[in-house]
Amino acid sequence: MEEYTVVINGKPQGPYTINDLKSLNIKPNTFIRKPGMDDYKEAHAIEELRELLGFSYQKTAPQYFAAFDLRLLASVIDHFLIFVIYCLTILVSFVFVEGKDQRIMAFFMPLPSIFIIKLIYGSFAESGKKQATIGKRLVNIKVTDLEGTKIYFGRSLIRNLSKILSVIPFFFGYFYSFLNKKNQCWHDVAADTLVMKDRLI
């Protein structure tokens, strides 16, 4: 039988069985967690508890937004991984390229492709099931719409293309997140997206 941990007066307590939950004063917004869940959820967001306790699902606005430092770290990780793959590919190509000058050209000429690859990869990854690139997944953040739900590829592509708006004016579009209550950069505003982080209890 599954066991549940319940946050009571700000502290996790339990474990409780599903039958034990009936005797507790559980409300729709009580935070509960069971094995296999990445984080706590409100009781109304757990299907079996809605059936047990007679709650209805209540869609709530996102509250936990990723700060600039987490977003920067995720971006650095992504670019590093792409750069490593790029370097390995170029090194393999050296087998077919002779001469020092030709090898230097072979290394630097395709360098801008890193940003194109990041654009395409980011658009697919952030609209995918995980809603995040590898870098974002490692720091537990993801991209959503303004209601906290998954975005489609079209909006993800707009978001990633709009990053040029955040870069051109001396990266001010990124620093704008410090002035925005939801930590949105300009490209988030342009695409109506949020970058959320896992809630911590």
Q: What is the mean pLDDT of residues 153-159?
A: 95
Q: What is the mean pLDDT of residues 136-144?
A: 94
The reported pLDDT for the residue numbered 71 is: 94
Instruction: Give residue-wise pLDDT tens across range 91-105.
Output: 887 777 777 677 667
Alpha-carbon separation of residue 180 from 56, 104, 163, 185 (angstroms): 32, 43, 17, 8
Sequence-distant (6+) residues with CB within 8 A of 199 are: 39, 40, 63, 64
The pLDDT-based confidence of 183 (bands split at 50, 70, 90) is very high
Question: Residue 118, Cβ neighbours under 10 Å: how many?
Answer: 19
The reported pLDDT for the residue numbered 188 is: 95
Lowest average pLDDT, out of 2-11, 139-148, 178-187, goes to 2-11
Beta strands in 80-155 (DSSP E): 141-145
Q: What is the mean pLDDT of residues 37-46?
A: 80
pTM for the model stands at 0.67
Lowest average pLDDT, out of 105-114, 115-124, 174-183, goes to 105-114
Name the nearest CA neighbour of 144 among 34, 36, 63: 63
Q: What is the mean pLDDT of residues 19-32?
A: 82
Read off the DSSP letter of residue 148: S
Q: Is 52 strand, coil or helix?
A: helix
List residues bridging with 19 in a β-sheet. none
In the chain, what percentage of residues exceed pLDDT 90?
A: 39
Give the domain ranges of the chain: 3-53, 68-197
Which alpha helices (H) appear in 11-54, and where do they start and end?
47-53
SS (H, E, C) 151-181: CCHHHHHHHHHCHHHHHCCCCHHHHHHHCCC
Query: Is residue 186 a contact partner of residue 165, using CB atoms and an 8 Å limit?
Result: yes
The pLDDT-based confidence of 201 (bands split at 50, 70, 90) is very low
